[in-house]
Chains A and B, each alone.
Chain A
Amino acid sequence: MIEEQIFYSLIAAIFVGGSTGYLGSLMVTRRMALVGDALGHVALPGIAMALLYNFNVILGALASLFFGILLIWFLHFKTELHTEVLTGIIFAVSLAFAFLILPSEDLETALIGDIAKINTLEFIITVFLSSIIFLIVRYIYSKIVLMTLSEDLAKSKKINVNLNNLIYLLSVGIIIALGIKIVGSLLIGGLVIIPAAASRNLSKNLSQYVFGAVFIGIFSALSGVLLYRATGFSAGPIIILIAAMVFLISFLFKQK
């Protein structure tokens, strides 16, 4: 049983660390680094409900994020306000709502994650969804890069900007929901940004950058879980600190 759980948490760490790093590399270039943080909080009402009524936390987070992101996308479409402004508003409302209903003994689980206690169902959901996200991100990557360079240019190449943005945002939502299980809603932003930021320092081109972000994501998540086994410290904070150390070291090898 214990061995099974070690196996689950290590494999889950690899899948989530890798896909979060991958998608994070897009988010950093799109200047959406803080959106990950904000969405981490948008997931909280769903997590709170899940903990209250005893259903799966990942599903709760997903439902909450799905709803939140659709709302942001829709309002952005309707009002032409910046996604960041809208995210900020939805983020605060979610947080307020979650703190109203979240039992205080469950607070830590929601805020910094509990990869060590991952069960079979969560493991299956995590591996399945991370793989799907990996494939989706691979499919939209070059389109999103072109959109980031110039939306007009992308449109002139017959890229459906709104649709790709929606797919991208939903992928972000799913990754955040999965990541929350590992590092919690307070730290998920770090798991999204830091591997990509470190990789950018080290890379000369896009493929190196993407590879680096995936690799550093996996490395941090994996060593976080291993160190948790060895020391008993919570895995979430350790993962973020390891990623941050890689980031600091990356400055020594910074590429122009």
Chain B
Amino acid sequence: MNSSMNNILEVNNLSVKFRNEKIIDNLSFNLKEKDNLVILGPNGAGKSVLLKTLLGLLPFEGEIKWKKEVRISYVPQKFFPSGEIPLSVEEFFKLKKIEKNEIEKSLRSVGLTDLEIMKKKIGVISTGEFQRAMIAWSLADNPDVLLFDEPTAGIDIGGEETIYNLLMQIEKELNLTMVIVTHELNIIYKFANSVLCLNKKAVCYGTPEEALTPESIGQLYGGKIKFYQHQHD
């Protein structure tokens, strides 16, 4: 199934050390264009570190090969602005030198249709609104790949579903490649083409149906979680 032609990312024997402790150990996986990869794993498994390494923010051993001139957008974990900076939503976009009509378009595309929000400070809008604005922000310069670290951390349960629905809708409309880090199992079947279970090493990797077995999940979370494989028609 793997022709390396349409791989947007190839990772071979990747290891990341932090003060002599191995955070990621000998990891290999590929990502095809337009695919959605979910990186799954417990807290402290190295998921966020992996994203940052893929972005080139951390030193590593091994090989990370992005397709040439690929444009990557990244949304860090628990990124909520403090009230310290009196920055309006519009000005937040302008940090990336985005034109006003492009900003409006991006905001509408994530369901923020009341454009009054552009004038509000990013520190005072609700967490859910901010997360939407943040998705719009990361899409505003037309990336090929979106790396998203825990999209729903800090958002209430109702909000979680909205965010994932939004991501799926965006994925359909823009045909992006998405890499999403999460520790939630429930979104995978609806959303992912491939899953990487990470706990320092790759515990499982493949399509959700292949990769997610009771054994692999048990291994990933230390056998504490009961998991039932979804039946598909």
Contacts and interface: CB of A to CB of B under 8 A. Distances in A.
Interface stretch (A3-11, A121-129, A151-159): A151-159
Interface stretch (B26-34, B37-45, B62-70, B86-94): B86-94
Given A204-B119, A205-B121, A149 B88 contact: no
Contacts of A31: 84
A203 B88 CA distance: 11
B24 to A, nearest CB: 17
A209 B95 contact: no
A156 B84 contact: no
Contacts, number: 59
Given A152-B57, A209-B86, 15 more contacts: A29-B84, A145-B87, A146-B95, A148-B84, A153-B75, A153-B79, A156-B76, A203-B86, A204-B88, A205-B88, A205-B90, A206-B85, A206-B86, A206-B91, A208-B86
Interface of A: 28-29, 31, 142, 145-146, 148-150, 152-153, 155-157, 200, 203-209, 255-256
B57 A256 contact: no
B124 A256 contact: yes
B55 interface: yes
Contacts of A208: 86
A200 B86 contact: yes
A180 B121 CA distance: 34
Contacts of A203: 86
A28 B121 CA distance: 17
Contacts of A150: 76, 79
Nearest to A212: B86
A68 B124 CA distance: 38
B95 A152 contact: no
A140 to B, nearest CB: 12
13 contacts: A31-B84, A145-B85, A145-B87, A148-B85, A152-B55, A152-B76, A156-B76, A204-B119, A204-B121, A205-B86, A205-B90, A205-B119, A206-B87
A206 B118 CA distance: 13
Contact of B57 (A29, A142, A148, A155): A155
A148 B122 CA distance: 13
Q: Which among B86, B91, B94, B95 has the greatest number of chain A C-beta atoms within 10 A?
A: B86
A157 B92 CA distance: 14
Contacts of A209: 86
B95 A142 contact: yes
A87 to B, nearest CB: 19
Contacts of B52: 152
Contacts of B9: none
Contact of A149 (B74, B79, B90, B94): B79
B192 interface: no
B140 to A, nearest CB: 12
Contacts of A200: 86
B23 interface: no
B86 A156 contact: no
Contact of B81 (A149, A155, A207): A149
Interface in B70-112: 72-76, 79, 81, 84-88, 90-91, 94-96
Interface in B12-56: 52, 55
Contacts of A205: 86-88, 90-91, 119, 121
A28 B84 CA distance: 8
B86 A204 contact: yes
